[in-house]
């Protein structure tokens, strides 16, 4: 039966600096590298053989997949990269320090932008430092200027249906190495989590979430490989 492993990238430099990162292509910190390696070691210790890896086009997720594959002794596994697995686009908040933004706009407003399901931050101004329209990774794509969790799911779901679901239906074991919000979108799809509850789902960094599926791709079992850093998993 198909198995899906969700792996959130380890700490990035802007995570460390408490900045809104979104689509900005920052790298992992040494701690983030260690988290990714630990994730791979846990996969190896669990005896899981992967058939394919999916990741975003952002360095922190790509390197997490590479480090995890190396630690699991499975660097030969083919990998597919796509921008639709990117982190949520934080719009006009991109690059800002979270604490300073809360002081400027109020903690309640920032909490709404960060944690509500369908209220996005203000749009990113075109032509600025973080305008991704000229980045060749996104050539030909219609890019958002901001995203809520809902609109993040809206661009993850077509990719999930078209590219990932067929591999799972073929019985493959897949690793998706991505970001907090793109993985949260996949969890919402798989576990049919409500709009109200999905904002409270938190996937730990570097801790593989292994989900066993039936032929209809309904979860039959789910567990984190590191019990000491596990968070609540939606009910099956």
**Contact status, residue 29 vs residue 47, Cβ threshold 8 Å:** no
> In 3-state terms, the chain is what percent helix, strand and coil (to 5)?
40, 15, 45
Nearest CA to 10 out of 211, 208, 224 is that of 208
**Contact status, residue 207 vs residue 226, Cβ threshold 8 Å:** yes
Q: Which residues are registered as beta bridge partners of 134?
A: none
Q: What is the set of active-site residues?
A: 9, 87
Q: Which residues are registered as beta bridge partners of 209?
A: 6, 224
210 φ/ψ angles, rounded to the nearest 5 degrees: -100, 120
Q: Which residues are registered as beta bridge partners of 103?
A: none
d(CA 116, CA 131): 24
Identify each DSSP E strand in the chain by its residue range: 3-8, 52-55, 79-81, 173-178, 209-213, 219-224
Q: Could you tell me the strand order of the sheet in which 219-224 lies?
A: 79-81, 52-55, 173-178, 3-8, 209-213, 219-224
Chain centroid to CA 215: 24
């Amino acid at each position: 039966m198909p198995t899906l492993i969700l792996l959130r990238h380890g700490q990035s430099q802007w995570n460390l600096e408490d900045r809104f990162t979104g689509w900005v292509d920052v790298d992992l910190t040494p701690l983030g590298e260690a988290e990714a390696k630990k994730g791979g070691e846990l996969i190896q210790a669990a005896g899981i053989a992967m058939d394919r890896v999916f990741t975003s086009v952002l360095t922190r997720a790509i390197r997490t997949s590479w480090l995890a594959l190396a630690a699991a002794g499975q660097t030969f596994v083919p990998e597919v990269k796509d921008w639709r697995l990117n982190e949520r686009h934080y719009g006009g908040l991109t690059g800002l320090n979270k604490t300073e933004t809360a002081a400027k706009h109020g903690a309640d407003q920032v909490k709404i932008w960060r944690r509500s399901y369908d209220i996005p931050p203000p749009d990113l101004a075109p032509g600025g430092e973080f305008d991704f329209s000229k980045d060749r990774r996104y050539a030909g794509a219609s890019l958002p200027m901001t995203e809520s969790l809902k609109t993040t799911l809206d661009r993850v779901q077509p990719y999930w249906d078209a590219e990932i679901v067929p591999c799972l239906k073929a019985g493959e074991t897949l690793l998706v190495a991505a970001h907090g919000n793109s993985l949260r979108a996949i969890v919402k799809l798989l576990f049919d989590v409500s709009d109200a509850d999905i904002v409270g789902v938190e996937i730990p960094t570097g801790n593989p979430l292994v989900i066993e599926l039936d032929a209809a791709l309904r979860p039959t079992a789910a567990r984190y490989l590191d019990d000491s850093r596990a968070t609540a998993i939606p009910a099956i």
